[in-house]
Structure 1
């Protein structure tokens, strides 16, 4: 005998399912939301058909409603699996033939139940029994019916496995959602299994009652775990989009050298659209090696230069299961390096030598009897010296920053004195002071000396006729601040802005290499430079991380400026 609460429970289940469907419609643009809503509607219809069937007298109509309800249960499994695919970011499977093939047995079974619910061998025997709360159908499942039931359980098992896999490989953010979906689905699965065992009694709609518990758990996922607002599909689809849209070629290779994934750029590099499934040996052969362990840093292919790196892929136990092979076309970089090498060699030798010749001629012209010729000789000598200085500075930048070498413990006061003393002697009209306490710091002495010399030299040359320059140091928050103060007008804004922007344009450029040298040097040290205008002059502060805090900073962040009133 069925208690009256069964029908009430089913009606409440239908209402809650339709409520979830309405909420899903509000978030219909989210992955999985539409199929989630359709799943709730289909489940609600199934529950409604069940309630309607309980109200019927035994006969063909009751049997037809039972067949419709059973067919709907198979379609619910199809929509449930489709929702899981969409929810976990595998929506591409929904439009593939494989999903249609996987759904075919369930859709065919549903059609048979709709048309001929009591046909053998789906059902061997059907009995209708009237109880105080309704008419129930007791069915003995035939061979095909058993196969369909087993297939439904297999579909649920695969779906739950996909949810678990997504959570394990992804973020803890989705654990609550996954547990709610998993437990809710398991309630329905267990209930359907008990129905087959005729528990609590033959024909009792326990599966439909289980849908109510499932709806409550899924409601918890919606209201308590932000489902429909945050779903793992976005992360999965995003990862796939990043993989496919990378400018670099990427191959995923299993330990047996089988290529399991290849993005479009990798296929374009090797001119092969069918890399997946092939052995990586053919790719390695084009790189000139026979094993990933011998992977070259760079290799040539079809007249272009590529850079390759291999990273191990491990499972949750830390065991190697394959490698990710990243391939980058570095042809433009190699050609640019070649051009820079040629230009640097010309700058070192040809230009410097020619400037030396020009300077020699200019100095001879300065002593000419003709005053115009002597004046031109003086101008030419000045420009030749400037060009020679620029060449020497460019060579020094290249030599020092190309391979700065390791850090070491440095006596800061000694380093500052070694830099400042020669500059003070060259500018006898200037007053140069140092305020450095004896201490040691771990840094690159060669690069720091280069940066400090440029900062002091800039202050001496641009601070006026009798400049006063002070070099001081202070520590704060694990950093060493090296400060160069002067009493001059400050560095013009037009000189600083191109360095802050990280590039020069035809209308916005620095007139010398000095600030670029400071910028590149501080980046190499992992430091920052701040240029401030004060009431008494300008202040250049180089903040240097010491010891374990040392790291290289981004190109565009090396120099900041607070010169609102300087250089205008």
Structure 2
């Protein structure tokens, strides 16, 4: 008898030691998604083992052995429910506790409350027996259903998922089952109590599991690492949405790009959180280019949509969500357009003008032919010069941006234009200072091209009004108005569509540079008619609260 008690106590002590270590290892770092349910699961087994150890010693630590034995009902009843919560989180059906899962624990507690209420009043022994039998039967039925359901989900997921070890599945399932199975298998005549032996097996198996397998992650380890390491380190913005296009998750890049935190936009419609994504196609496999407003201004993005499958079992279940990857292609598309236009200049404009020169070369003594040669050569030289200047300016924009006073730039551009076109009337309305973080060379060249285009295409005498202001939303804005016939609709379309084709190459290099500059600066370009004659070109720069400042003295003109 003494040997049996000593052995049973020793087994209890070892079980308590192992389960204490497992619980401590999981509880000290709760960052993995499924760490809390696992810690509660091992903690329940630890409580069970402690109560089992106490029950070996009558009146030990001031607690009666019978009371300790009765208290074991608590971990016995609630362990299967905690096991189910852990399994649901592990297979990807949301980690942690929800209201529905909380209701499950309440349901399990009701028979215990009913059992305690049975002793109220002065019931007969037969009434107590029948009430307890009914309540115990209900409790056992609930425990059986919960345990079997959790085991079924865990086994199916482990067998269908290639990255989950089947040995891991067996070890974890055995750790939960051991106290119940071995406790029911070994009777009181055994050297050690069956529950005690089962708790020792649980401690050993959980110790092995936590050291060798990814038991703390929500989903298999590769999925968790992919989510926490790979996705978060991507330079592309990643947003996960449900089938109603409401945001479920996003990575750090998306937060910085669109100016919000994931916690604040969960449940928000995608088109409400991402300015410019109205009506975007979210079908699986979609790849499109859209223009979106970001913290860096308006940028062009190529987005790709893919389904998020519940598992890899090949079932016909609907995907649980969709992942949208946004890749900034503004610079890429700008380079492509730049190369396309410069290539067109060399292949089309320069070639055609040289053909004219060669065709008139034999008639150089004729005044008419001589004038044609001079005009063609001048046009060719001008086009080539503008192309070189555009290329040089766009190359400068690769460096880091700096603080630019666009009011001062406007005055500089106006002064240069007055010198180059003395017969023109050029006015500037601007505040004393209006600063933003940008590329000064690009901003100046953008203004120069718009002013020169307005002067060249205006009626004599040309009148150009330059206005620098901020909108009601504190957005810096440039307005250049002229008294000319206006920009033809076809050229407007070419500018706003950001495309250059073989058939639509009539736009000058100067206005194409305007297109490049607006795109590179993250700005917006708009054309407004000013009556029967004249056009107003509006450029809205993106807002940067930290770098933008404006004097309170208002604006002045000259």
Normalized against structure 2, the TM-score is what?
0.43
